[in-house]
């Protein structure tokens, strides 16, 4: 089972509303895109932050920074504005290339998802329009390239 499938299974078991975003979402929408990490957005509640922490630790992942779900939720806006912390990042200590980032700057409550099949799994992926808007706000060179490709998918 792939890391993505294990992650989705864990998120579903914890009943966490999520969407896959970033390069993996671009690829799942049909545009070839290489990426190492998996980015997700969740609904921003203290309970869902705690649940995602439990889920990722259950998969063997550890947070890069020594902060708890309660701290991330309580100080999220301060972390974003004062420390430029965009994602709450987790890594697998037995395979440090496996990284999962929970994007803090976007709340799933304000976004739409679509279902995509991957083998036996159904994944929730951010809808193309919302993915484009998210990438516009980031403005990095790779995001600008992703936007061009995603707009082609809408035609």
> How far is 40 from 103, CA to CA, in rounded Å?
6
Query: What was the pLDDT predicted at 1?
Result: 75
Instruction: Output the average pLDDT for the chain.
Output: 94
Query: What was the pLDDT predicted at 33?
Result: 79
Sheet with 121-126, strands from edge to edge, namely 62-63, 87-92, 95-103, 38-42, 18-21, 121-126, 113-118
Q: Is pLDDT of 32 > 90? A: no
Query: What was the pLDDT predicted at 153?
Result: 85
Smallest CA-to-CA distance from 65 within 87, 81, 48, 94 is with 87
* Over residues 108-132, mean pLDDT: 94
Instruction: Give residue 121's Cα distance to chain centre.
Output: 17
E-assigned strand segments in 22-84: 38-42, 62-63
* Over residues 85-90, mean pLDDT: 96
Q: Is pLDDT of 121 > 90? A: no
Q: Is pLDDT of 58 > 80? A: yes
| Phi, psi (rounded to 5 degrees) for 12 | -65, -40
- In the chain, the domains with their CATH numbers are 3-141 (3.30.460.40)
Query: What was the pLDDT predicted at 118?
Result: 85
* Over residues 89-96, mean pLDDT: 96
């Amino acid at each position: 089972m792939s890391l993505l499938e294990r992650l989705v299974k864990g998120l579903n078991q914890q009943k966490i509303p999520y969407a896959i975003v970033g390069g993996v979402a671009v690829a799942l929408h049909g545009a070839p895109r290489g990426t190492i990490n998996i980015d997700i957005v969740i609904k921003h509640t203290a309970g869902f932050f705690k649940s995602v922490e439990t889920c990722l630790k259950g998969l063997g992942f550890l947070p890069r920074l020594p902060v708890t779900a309660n701290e991330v939720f309580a100080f999220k806006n301060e972390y974003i504005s004062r420390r430029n912390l965009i994602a709450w990042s987790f890594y697998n200590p037995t395979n440090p290339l496996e990284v999962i980032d929970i994007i803090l700057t976007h709340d799933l409550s304000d976004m739409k998802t679509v279902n995509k099949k991957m083998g036996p799994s159904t994944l929730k992926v951010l809808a193309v329009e919302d993915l484009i808007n998210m990438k516009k706000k980031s403005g990095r060179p790779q995001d600008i390239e992703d936007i061009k490709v995603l707009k082609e998918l809408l035609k």
